[in-house]
Amino acid sequence: MIRTLIVDDVGLAREAIRIRLQDNKDFDVVGEAATAPEALNLIRKLEPDLIFLDVEMPGLDAFQLLDGLQEGRTPEVIFVTAHDQYAVQAFNSSALHFLLKPIDDSQFEEAIRRARDEIAESKGEAESESADSEIARVDQEKPRYWSRLVIKDHDRFILLKTDDVHWIGAATNYAEVHAGTRTYLLRMPISDLEGKLDPRRFARISRSTIVGIEQVEEIKPLWHGDFEVFLKDGTALRMSRRYRDRLLSHT
């Protein structure tokens, strides 16, 4: 269940969101707030996964509210407002989505779809990090990263230098390795392969994509918080906002 908090100083606006969410059984509305101070208390008490947050409220606005949250786990935010001039500021605050009043049905569905994906990814990542921490506690050896990938190609094996890899995509239980104009299938899930690659040279940019950092030519922000990554060979890849720091820290 996605624990959801609705924050808006207009009761009818809160009700409109609550009614829309009734058809989505995986969203659980755990609380509502009409002011920023009330919302802050509920966020600390209820620890929601997601907030539908009105931008303009008496006293503190939405951005001041978010600034008041303590560091650590923060919920995903879908901004709701009648004023589109807040879109850039919402993007800079890492908003999950931005809905204009009156809310369009298709945009609402897009917002909750993104919420499902991002929250599921976040929870999965947290579980993975917990497991990784336990492994690290048991095995204190310094990790060794692969300099070559051994790829079976029909009746032969190819030793592909990781320096030659441009990007890697997920293909079910395989990793699709792109090196120049060639593409190879490596029998290994991308999540396992990530741990074998030097994080100083490769960065995960989405659940299904890893890029060679030296291959990145340009990073273009998209309005809803994701990015488009262009490689030197012209390839365009989508980067999730959740992974952007992994790549941007190298630029």
**Overall pTM > 0.75:** no
Q: Which residues contact 43 (CB under 8 A, 6 or more apart)?
A: 5, 51, 69, 75
Q: What are phi and psi of 129, to 5 degrees?
A: -65, -35
The tokens for 116 are: 């499902």
Residue 102, pLDDT above cutoff 80 = yes
Helix then strand then coil, in percent of the chain rounded to 5, is 35, 30, 30
How confident is residue 67, by pLDDT bands cut at 50, 70 and 90? confident
pLDDT at 94: 66
> pLDDT, tens digit, for every residue of 175-221?
999 999 999 999 899 999 999 999 999 999 999 999 999 999 998 88
Going across the sheet that includes 216-221, the strands are: 216-221, 227-231, 236-239
- Percent of the chain at pLDDT > 90 equals 43
Q: Which domains does the chain have, with CATH numbers?
A: 2-127 (3.40.50.2300), 148-248 (2.40.50.1020)
Q: Please give the Cα distance from 151 to 149 (Å, whole number).
A: 6
Cβ distance 2 to 26 under 8 Å? yes
Residue 71, pLDDT above cutoff 80 = no
Q: Give the chain's end-to-end CA distance (angstroms, integer).
A: 37
Q: Which residues of 17-36 are buried (b: 16+ CB within 10 A; e: fewer)?
A: beebbeebeebebbbbbbbb
Q: Please give the Cα distance from 19 to 131 (Å, whole number).
A: 38
Report how far Cα 147 is from the mean position of its chain's Cα atoms: 28
pLDDT at 233: 94
pLDDT at 60: 78
Q: Give me the chain's average pLDDT, please.
A: 84
> pLDDT, tens digit, for every residue of 104-162?
888 899 889 989 988 888 776 545 555 455 555 545 555 678 888 888 877 778 889 99
